[in-house]
Chain A
């Protein structure tokens, strides 16, 4: 069973604080993702990484950065938290992005971190 864990289920931070959200997967997956989930907006991709130290911007990268120093760990960083970053943050991992075997495209999600910025 693929297991994706996130460092916190709930987090409350103050405006201007630096926030670290960590994600760890145990299936040796190449790809890891950070999404933000807001009601009515679905899941929006913030950043993804396809290899150690490699990262690509998603649809909403502004105000966020990421770090992937080890294959199993992908961190999301809010350099200076703002109230509009209050949201549910979901991490995910997958084996492949391309290829004939669509079953390897499946993204496995972590339990989420509900971040409140006051």
Chain B
């Protein structure tokens, strides 16, 4: 089945700096790659996603890039703010279009 690896597990940045979280996947048939953000004590929420026919997608300060050849995709957050502090999960579709999630990255933005 699909296997998704996510790095780093924790990331600390200064407010205003950029943050990058990387994920690799194993199933070359995967075609949908969402990112979820989970603030402390809250439920995960979708923040951005990308399909396999697109190499990059942006939404204000966040962007996702996909390299299908290398089977990896990344989340980029620019001009980080304290409210970006959360756990971020990447995911990829596997068999039956079920999502397989990465292990999560705890992002801490220091004011």
What's the nearest-Cβ distance from chain A to residue B61, in Å? 20
Q: How many A-B residue pairs have CB under 8 A?
A: 51
* Cβ-defined partner of A102 (8 Å) among B4, B49, B104: B49
**A107 contacts the other chain (CB 8 A):** yes
The 8 A CB mask of A34-48 against B (1 = contact, 0 = none) is 010001111111001
Cα distance, A95 to B34, chains bound together (Å):
15
**A90 contacts the other chain (CB 8 A):** yes
Contact present for A109 and B45 (CB under 8 Å): yes
**B98 contacts the other chain (CB 8 A):** yes
What's the nearest-Cβ distance from chain B to residue A3, in Å? 11
* Residues from chain A with Cβ under 8 Å of B103 in the complex: 40-42
Contacts from B to A (Cβ < 8 Å): 1, 4, 6, 9, 32, 34, 42-46, 49, 51, 89, 96-104
